[in-house]
């Protein structure tokens, strides 16, 4: 993971002043680093989950290959207005703004065991909303997993007592 850490690019004042944006695109274009992330996550969740839930949009980048590698289903948690049939909605506050997430009501069911995956946890609002959506569908959330955790923003505390895992912490 040291190589992945080195590849993540810190971009000051994006998307607005005062935000230090952690850009994962240099990791994605490095075949070995990208593959390493999926391999590490596959090892962690093999045999433990039936589904991987990715959060739009950068969560999808990791959730799809992980679901495939695990032989698990892929569930998408999306920005509002994108899903065509009945949804559950959850509003949340971002490090930079406010938003809503949705999930199809039939995306998950009782008995499903899901890992929620996103590129990064900052304040934890997005992850909390994703957790609420998966549990409203009746699924058990095995863990909330992130490639990057910004520890100073204390997102993990917002999720207590839920299990949280991050590959890289700043
Ligand atoms: P939060 O709800 O505050 O935990 O924000 C997490 C979501 O916002 C994730 O989907 C991230 O992709 C995005 N995000 C928030 N802060 C940053 C940051 N400093 N760098 C990159 N992405 C961020």
Whether 22 is in the pocket of ligand 1, judged by its Cβ within 6 Å, is yes
Give the model's confidence band at 93: pLDDT under 50 very low, under 70 low, under 90 confident, else very high. Answer: confident
Q: 153 C-alpha vs ligand 1 centroid, how far in Å?
A: 10
β-pairing, 73-77 vs 97-104, is unpaired
pTM as predicted:
0.96
* Nearest-angstrom CA–CA distance, 78 and 89: 10
Which atom of ligand 1 has the smallest separation from the CA of 21?
A: 20
Q: 130 C-alpha vs ligand 1 centroid, how far in Å?
A: 13
pLDDT one-digit tens code per residue, 33-59: 999 999 999 999 999 999 999 999 999
Q: 84 C-alpha vs ligand 1 centroid, how far in Å?
A: 26
pLDDT one-digit tens code per residue, 150-164: 999 999 999 999 999
Distances (CA, A) of 132 to 57, 92, 108, 125: 18, 11, 12, 11
Measuring CA to CA, which residue among 103, 109, 66, 97 is closest to residue 84? 103
Which atom of ligand 1 has the smallest separation from the CA of 128?
A: 2
Whether 155 is in the pocket of ligand 1, judged by its Cβ within 6 Å, is yes
Specify the residue with its C-alpha closest to ligand 1, atom 17.
21
* Nearest-angstrom CA–CA distance, 4 and 27: 6
């Amino acid at each position: 993971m040291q190589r992945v850490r080195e590849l993540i690019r810190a971009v000051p004042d994006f998307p607005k002043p005062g935000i230090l944006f952690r850009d994962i695109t240099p990791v994605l274009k490095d075949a070995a680093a990208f593959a390493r992330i999926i391999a590490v996550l596959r090892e962690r969740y093999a045999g433990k989950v039936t589904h991987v839930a990715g959060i739009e949009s950068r969560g999808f980048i990791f959730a799809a290959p992980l679901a495939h590698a695990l032989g698990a289903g892929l569930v998408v948690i999306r920005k509002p207005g994108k899903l065509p049939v009945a949804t559950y909605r959850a509003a949340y506050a971002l490090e930079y703004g406010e938003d809503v997430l949705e999930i199809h009501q039939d995306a998950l069911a009782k008995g499903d065991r899901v890992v929620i995956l996103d590129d990064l946890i900052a304040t934890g609002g997005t992850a909390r909303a994703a957790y609420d959506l998966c549990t409203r569908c009746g699924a058990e959330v095995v863990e909330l997993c992130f490639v990057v955790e910004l520890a100073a923003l204390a997102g993990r505390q917002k999720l207590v007592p839920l299990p949280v895992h991050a590959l890289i912490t700043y």
